[in-house]
Structures are given as C-alpha cells and as structure tokens.
A and B are shown apart, each in its own frame.
Chain A
Amino acid sequence: GAGVSQTPSNKVTEKGKYVELRCDPISGHTALYWYRQSLGQGPEFLIYFQGTGAADDSGLPNDRFFAVRPEGSVSTLKIQRTERGDSAVYLCASSPDSSNYGYTFGSGTRLTVV
C-alpha cells in the first residue's frame, strides 16, 4: 500500500484480556517502529525492528508487551493481561532504513481497556 496501515483502528477490550495490534509498513521499508501515545502526551518509543529482529526494545514498559516481525514486513504488537493503564493510541511507523529520517506514521490503533 501507499502508507503504513494499522489494524484495527479501534479496539475495546476487557481488563485481563490479550490483544494483538497489527502494522503493515510501507513496502520495502526495513525499519519499523512502535510508539504509544497517551492523552495529552507526545508519542513514546516502544520498540524498533531492523528487518526481522528487534534491534531495540528498551521502551517496552514490562514483559506483558511483546512484538514480532517474522518475515521482515508485517509486525504484530501483543499485549497480555491488559490493564486500564494500557489504554492509549498505539502508533506504528516505517522508514527505508534506520538512518536519521523523520518517518511516516500509520493512523494508529486506539486501545481502550475497560
């Protein structure tokens, strides 16, 4: 596709449930990033992939959060045992490589944990 695609656009889940958020990057982009944006805040870095491997996962808040990118394209962010504090917009971005560009974000998944 022309841009970064994220699905679902909205997700409401009950506390304690497991969720998966999907990101389909721009074709050919090797670097993929996940960010989280809470209300009134700027996006915060979670994890980035260069190809299939997680090159830096230092922003993941705890071990309930995990992300994969098995074929170096689509990525899935997985959250186990969701908590109300996980409610936020989860943004994905991709770039041609991990050089110092400002990259393009997808429209995000708005996660609400009730």
Chain B
Amino acid sequence: RKEVEQDPGPFNVPEGATVAFNCTYSNSASQSFFWYRQDCRKEPKLLMSVYSSGNEDGRFTAQLNRASQYISLLIRDSKLSDSATYLCVVNRGGGGNKLTFGTGTQLKVEL
C-alpha cells in the first residue's frame, strides 16, 4: 500500500463547478500536511498547508481528519487556470522535514 494515496483522475469539470479531491495516508505519526499544485512540465508549488481545524484560502478549502487519516481539498468556482495536477503531501515527522508525495490528481477545467 502506498504511503499517500490519491485518485489520479482526470477530473474534467466545467468552469464554475465545485470539485473535491481526497487523499489518504497510512502513517498515523505523520505531523504536517500540504497540498501542492503542479503544472505540466513545471515544478510542484505549495498551494496550502492543511490543519486539523480546516483552513481556507480564497476558493480553496482544505480539511484534515486525523482519525481517518484523510485529507481533502475543495475548489469552488473552478477557473480554467485551476487546470493542473494536485499533489497530496505528508510530512512523516521524525526529523528532517522529509515530504512524501501522492501521485497527484489531474484536474481539467473546461469551458
């Protein structure tokens, strides 16, 4: 079983739609959590950290459920420019800030 699992998609949604991505992680000792965005042939870029209380950044909302070891990302009012791969990322802890990435979920926002 992979340490971080995501549905690879693609998710094809019309502009303006709301879309949700989910992710599960296997290591219960994981300490911090992130969503990264990666455009085609570009480096991953930090989208947002994920906190147990849930957090929002504009149209993006992230949630963490430690009991279920589950992370989510909700995008409201999708834009064409949101088309990218969204990577779920976990810091296992234990020192060193090593990140473990999921394989990513591809989002295509269409007219």
Contact = CB atoms under 8 A, between A and B. Distances in A.
B100 A102 contact: no
A44 B44 CA distance: 12
A44 B42 contact: no
Interface of B: 4, 8, 31-32, 34, 36, 42-46, 49, 87, 89, 91, 93, 95-104
A55 B46 contact: no
Interface in A59-104: 59, 91, 95, 98-104
B1 to A, nearest CB: 15
A42 B95 contact: no
Contacts of A31: 97
A31 B96 CA distance: 9
B10 to A, nearest CB: 12
A107 B102 CA distance: 19
Contact of A102 (B96, B99, B102): B99
B93, B95, B97, B103: most-surrounded residue (chain A CB, <10 A): B97
Given A42-B87, A102-B34, A102-B49, A56 B98 contact: yes
A43 interface: yes
Given A40-B103, A42-B87, A42-B102, A101 B97 contact: yes
